[in-house]
Chain A
Amino acid sequence: GAVVSQHPSRVICKSGTSVKIECRSLDFQATTMFWYRQFPKQSLMLMATSNEGSKATYEQGVEKDKFLINHASLTLSTLTVTSAHPEDSSFYICSASLGDWEQFFGPGTRLTVL
């Protein structure tokens, strides 16, 4: 149980385009979903916390107008990287939380912006 999926697993896009990443909890309803970013050889950095039906809470330094988060249901959250640039190339990982217990991580999305 507690499986989280992400789609796509890899995406390559041109600079200036927008990319949408989906995060789904497959077998449970997640009260909260989290979005992380991980640059090579660095740790996961929390970008934002998302609760169903409410606006996401962004961490300091993360541009909310650039990284749009929509949490439409208890099983789906999307992250849209708008007007992507090469410096946005990274590994994006979502996690879903069941209550106050552990977070279950998705397999990640590798974004490459050319």
Chain B
Amino acid sequence: GQNIDQPTEMTATEGAIVQINCTYQTSGFNGLFWYQQHAGEAPTFLSYNVLDGLEEKGRFSSFLSRSKGYSYLLLKELQMKDSASYLCAVRDGDYKLSFGAGTTVTVRA
């Protein structure tokens, strides 16, 4: 199985940068995903890492270190609409996703 840990809550100011960390222990690894989820809605895909390093996608970047079982999602130039829950998910060798509990990010004006 998978054990995925991420902080419960983070608060930041509009225009700032926030980094959400995720650590995992897996019984097989086939990629790490980050999703954004607004309350009452389904998750939407943000990023995918399968090799070590940084993947940049506009204001969002994601980093992976497989040897450390560690990833982070970096949100730059925060906007009010970025207030949401951010889910770290690990895909195992059977292509199943296991999700962390999510980090609720609150952006203040």
User: Residues of A at under 8 Å CB distance from B?
Assistant: 32, 34, 42-46, 49, 91, 93, 97, 100, 102-108, 110
Contacts and interface: CB of A to CB of B under 8 A. Distances in A.
The 3 closest A-B pairs by CB, nearest first: A105-B42, A43-B99, A43-B101
Nearest to B48: A102
B3 interface: no
Contacts of A97: 95
Contacts, number: 39
Interface size class of B (residues with CB under 8 A): 10 to 19
Interface of B: 33, 35, 40-45, 48, 87, 95-102
Which of A43, A46, A93 has the largest count of B CB atoms less than 10 A from its CB?
A43
B95 A44 contact: no
A93 B100 CA distance: 16
A44 B98 CA distance: 8
B98 A42 contact: no
Nearest to B35: A105
A42 B101 contact: yes
B93 to A, nearest CB: 11
A103 B96 CA distance: 9
Given A43-B87, A102-B48, A107 B96 contact: no
Given A102-B33, A102-B48, A46 B40 contact: no
Which of A42, A97, A102 has its CB near the most chain B CB atoms (within 10 A)?
Answer: A102
A108 B41 contact: yes
A48 B10 CA distance: 32
Contacts of B35: 105
Contact of B100 (A43, A91, A107): A43
